[in-house]
Amino acid sequence: MRTILFLLQKEFLQIFRNRMMLPIIFVLPLVQLIILVNAATMEMKNLKIFIVDQDLSVTSRQLVDRFAASPFFRISSRSFSLDEAGEAMERGKTDIILHIPANFEKDLVRENRAEVQFLFNAINGTVAGIGYGYAASITGSYNREIIAKWYQIPKGVIAQQSIEVRPSFWYNPELNYKVFMVPAVLAILVTIIGAFLSGLNIMREKELGTIEQINVTPIRKHQFIIGKLVPFLIIALVELGFGLTIGKILFDIPINGSLFVLFVTAAIYLMTILGLGLLVSTLARTLQQAIFISFFFMIVFMMMSGLFTSVETMPNWAQNINIINPIAYFMKLVRTILLKGSGFRDIYHDIIALVIYGIAMLSLATWRYRKTV
């Protein structure tokens, strides 16, 4: 035990003497939380809409005013020419074109029906789909107002003619995308500290030759591995607490679950990801190789972990691959604990999977270390 304590002291001194590692440990969480959480959002607001009102009637102006008053749309320009609007969309100056044809109000009065045209820039399918939903909702609401006003029909009667839906959103009532993103960014921070920095630290010692000095000492292999991995386990848990504090202060994220459950789960996950980092360091011969291998696996695992989109919406083959994706397990666990308040009883299946994964990674990395060094 005394040998392990000396190794831990040596590792902490080495980590804090490295000027390149300190900014990554202490500055990276703050930068990622502030920038990524605010920038990486699926909320569609201020969609640019080009108005082509060829009717210029009271009714058409009222419809345009509905879009101007909506927080989801921002009128980028107005014109009488549909061709001009098309050119603006080709140049990327607008996302949606609202075309109100001539005689719009006249057709509505005489024939009880009139048409408007929406043209969407569907290069980004998500923007086009959500924008269509917003536009259809505003147009439908205005249509019901016209019916109620022109035909003296109470609004309650119109509402009864269709199914009324009153949604109740659990765990994120305001549909704030930041509440969804903050736990994900915290999971990424823990992953970077656990897998990336731990592996690079070992590879750096290999290139400097200092690891050979330790190998010729009577230090046992398990003592060496504990001394190498435990410091990054502690640092990653501190980073998690630091990130939670920043998330609570800046974004007021809910913490409905037990912090004890969260940190125990994070420790189990870190044993898995630290084993993966150690395995990479045994496979690579140089620091550059270790960076490339870690970068490849981390990018693939992060993108498939549910960082931005739900895992359940992925194809079946992608969901099957996620069985071997430790980040996907931890991403789900962090969100479940913080937002839903889940305890060990609710998440034990995923914890068992991480424990099995961690034992396999540490065992393989330990065996591989003995074979190569």
Express each pLDDT in 342-367 by its tens digit: 889 889 999 999 999 989 988 888 88
Give 69-105 pLDDT, tens digit per residue: 888 899 999 999 999 998 998 888 898 999 999 988 8
DSSP 139-195: HHHHHHHHHHHHTT--HHHHHHTS--------S-TT--HHHHHHHHHHHHHHHIIII
Residues 86, 222 within the same domain: no
Work out whether strand 47-53 and strand 73-79 pair parallel, antiparallel, or are unpaired: parallel
Residues 322, 194 within the same domain: yes
- Characterize 275-285 residue by residue with b for buried, 16 or more Cβ atoms within 10 angstroms of its Cβ, and e for exposed: bbbbbbbbebe
Spatial separation of the C-alpha atoms in residues 337 and 341, rounded to whole Å: 5
**165 within some domain:** no
Residues 146, 20 within the same domain: no
Residues 325, 221 within the same domain: yes
**C-beta separation of 236 from 266 below 8 A:** yes
Pair of tokens at residue 113: 């029906």
Domain that holds residue 200: 2-40+174-372
Largest CA distance in the chain: 97
Residues 21, 71 within the same domain: no
Beta bridge partners of 49: 75, 96
Residues 185, 70 within the same domain: no
Spatial separation of the C-alpha atoms in residues 235 and 277, rounded to whole Å: 15
* DSSP label of 92: T
Q: What's phi and psi for 73, nearest 5 deg? A: -125, 150
**11 within some domain:** yes
**168 within some domain:** no
Residues 249, 359 within the same domain: yes
Residues 139, 220 within the same domain: no
- Please give the single-letter amino acid code of residue 272: T
Residues 357, 218 within the same domain: yes
Indicate the residue among 104, 131, 160 that finishes a domain.
160
Domain count of the chain? 2
Indicate the residue among 114, 130, 160 that finishes a domain.
160
Rounded to two decimals, the pTM is 0.75
Residues 92, 236 within the same domain: no
**C-beta separation of 104 from 146 below 8 A:** no
Residue-by-residue pLDDT tens, the chain, 373 positions: 777 776 777 777 777 776 766 777 777 777 777 777 776 666 677 789 999 999 989 888 999 999 998 888 999 999 999 999 989 988 888 989 999 999 888 888 888 888 889 999 887 777 788 888 889 888 888 888 887 776 665 555 544 445 555 666 778 777 777 888 888 888 988 888 777 777 777 777 776 666 666 666 677 777 777 777 888 888 889 889 988 998 888 888 888 989 999 999 999 999 888 888 888 877 777 777 877 888 888 888 888 888 877 787 788 888 888 888 899 999 999 999 998 888 898 899 999 999 999 899 888 888 876 544 4
**169 within some domain:** no
Spatial separation of the C-alpha atoms in residues 188 and 327, rounded to whole Å: 8
Residues 216, 365 within the same domain: yes
Using a 10 angstrom Cβ sphere, with 0-12 exposed, 13-18 middle and 19 or more buried, the burial of residue 234 is middle
Output the domain CATH number for residue 126.
3.40.1710.10
**277 within some domain:** yes
Give 140-175 pLDDT, tens digit per residue: 888 888 877 766 655 555 444 455 556 667 787 777
**167 within some domain:** no
Residues 149, 192 within the same domain: no
Indicate the residue among 101, 133, 160 that finishes a domain.
160
